[in-house]
């Protein structure tokens, strides 16, 4: 029940109508009897919205497209990971001091680890060079892979990620997303991660990587969760590869944010069920 003591959390972005974070977090608050409530705000003016966060004493929240970088100027402090990525997806308001974090890449890597995928010593191919790619590449780099290859439609956009990854002492290359490069680079990659929206509803017949480049000695993760099984994952499964959808990343980034706001560990399975239920509603 919402009371006069209820602490408010929110997602700030535009659009936010597709977000399942409210359902995911509110289900966990309810099950744990925590007096928190999570709502979504479609924001046109970020400066005003962040003033509102302070003025209303909102406890914290998530930040999504297009504000993950621009929101940083309204933080009093950002942790090392979000500063390195230049993107914040989670913030907490501690008595008026706003602190930013980024849990996206951590959530993705936790998902890989939960699925038993070993990163250390592996060659990792990451398709795409936007926000999701950046956050995942950073965290993967800290896990000592043999090499990271970033393949992007616009090759030069992959270059800053390559440079950042190399600072971790990991060999990295930034390449154009071409058939020739996919053929060469995927043949000895142990992990492939799609971070582009290619294959997402309503373009579910598309794939960023042709079936011919997939093989059974790789784990394939798609950050897309709508549909749950993208064409890429379906074809990876047919080849005998481990196929991992984007729900794990979605839930795990939420679990980490929940811990930042409440200091408590939520039931990840319950959050996943709430997310899946909400996704099913959104897909209708
Ligand atoms: P973004 O910053 O806009 O980056 C999109 C990337 O995809 C860019 O590298 C872009 O290439 C590439 N791309 C877009 N359309 C393409 C096409 N038709 N062919 C080839 N490449 C294409 O987006 P983002 O924030 O990284 O998000 C990307 C995806 O991740 C979205 O589907 C989002 O829903 C998903 N996501 C999932 C989670 C989760 O929790 N599972 C979390 C965050 C994001 P160019 O550089 O050439 O434009």
Mean pLDDT by 10 residues, the chain (284 residues): 94 95 98 97 98 98 96 98 95 97 98 97 97 96 97 97 94 98 98 97 96 98 96 98 98 98 98 94 64
Per-residue pLDDT, 280: 83
> Measured in Å, how far apart are the chain's first and last C-alpha atoms?
29
Query: What residues have CB less than 8 Å from 148, skipping those under 6 apart?
Result: 123, 124, 125, 126, 137, 140, 141, 162, 165, 170, 171, 172, 173
Question: What's the CA angle centered on 19, arms 1 and 2, to 5 degrees?
Answer: 10
Per-residue pLDDT, 149: 98
Ligand 1 atom 43 nearest Cα = 132
Per-residue pLDDT, 1: 83
- Catalytic residue selected from 68, 99, 134, 272: 68
Ligand 1 atom 17 nearest Cα = 198
Q: Ligand 1: does its nearest atom lie under 6 Å from the Cβ of 153? A: yes
Instruction: Tell me whether residue 120 is one of the annotated catalytic residues.
Output: no
Per-residue pLDDT, 77: 98
Q: Ligand 1: does its nearest atom lie under 6 Å from the Cβ of 21? A: no
225 contacts 250 by C-beta, under 8 angstroms: yes
Q: Ligand 1: does its nearest atom lie under 6 Å from the Cβ of 160? A: no
Per-residue pLDDT, 283: 62
**Torsion of Cα atoms, 228 then 234 then 237 then 241, to 10°:** -80
Distance of CA 142 to the CA centre of its chain: 16
Per-residue pLDDT, 188: 98
pTM of the model: 0.95
Per-residue pLDDT, 281: 72
**Residue corresponding to tokens 């608050």:** 29
Q: Quote the CA–CA distance of 255 and 24 in Å, as a whole number.
A: 9
Residue 220 sits at φ, ψ, to 5 deg, of -115, 120
């Amino acid at each position: 029940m919402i009371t006069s003591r209820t602490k408010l959390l929110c997602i700030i972005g535009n659009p936010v109508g597709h977000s399942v974070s409210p359902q995911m977090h509110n289900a966990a608050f309810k099950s744990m009897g925590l007096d928190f409530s999570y709502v979504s705000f479609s924001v046109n003016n970020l400066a005003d919205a962040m003033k509102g966060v302070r003025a209303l004493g909102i406890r914290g929240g998530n930040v999504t497209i297009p504000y993950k970088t621009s929101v940083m100027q309204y933080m009093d402090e950002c942790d090392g990971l979000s500063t390195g990525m230049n993107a914040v997806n989670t913030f907490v308001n501690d008595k008026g001091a706003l602190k930013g974090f980024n849990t996206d890449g951590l959530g993705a890597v936790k998902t890989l680890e939960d699925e038993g995928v070993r990163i250390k010593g592996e060659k990792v191919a990451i398709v795409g060079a936007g926000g999701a790619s950046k956050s995942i590449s950073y965290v993967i780099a800290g896990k000592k892979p043999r090499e990271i290859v970033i393949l992007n439609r616009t090759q030069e956009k992959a270059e800053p990620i390559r440079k950042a990854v190399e600072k971790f002492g990991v060999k990295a290359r930034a390449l154009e997303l071409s058939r020739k490069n996919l053929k060469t680079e995927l043949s000895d990659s142990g992990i492939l991660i799609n971070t582009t929206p290619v294959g997402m509803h309503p373009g579910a017949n598309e794939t960023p990587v042709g079936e011919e480049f997939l093989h059974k000695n790789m784990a394939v993760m798609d950050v897309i969760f709508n549909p749950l099984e993208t064409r890429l994952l379906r074809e990876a499964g047919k080849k005998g590869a481990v196929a991992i959808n984007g729900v794990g990343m979605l839930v795990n980034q939420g679990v980490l944010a929940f811990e930042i706001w409440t200091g408590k560990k939520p039931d990840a399975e319950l959050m996943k069920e709430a997310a899946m239920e909400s996704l099913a509603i959104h897909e209708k």
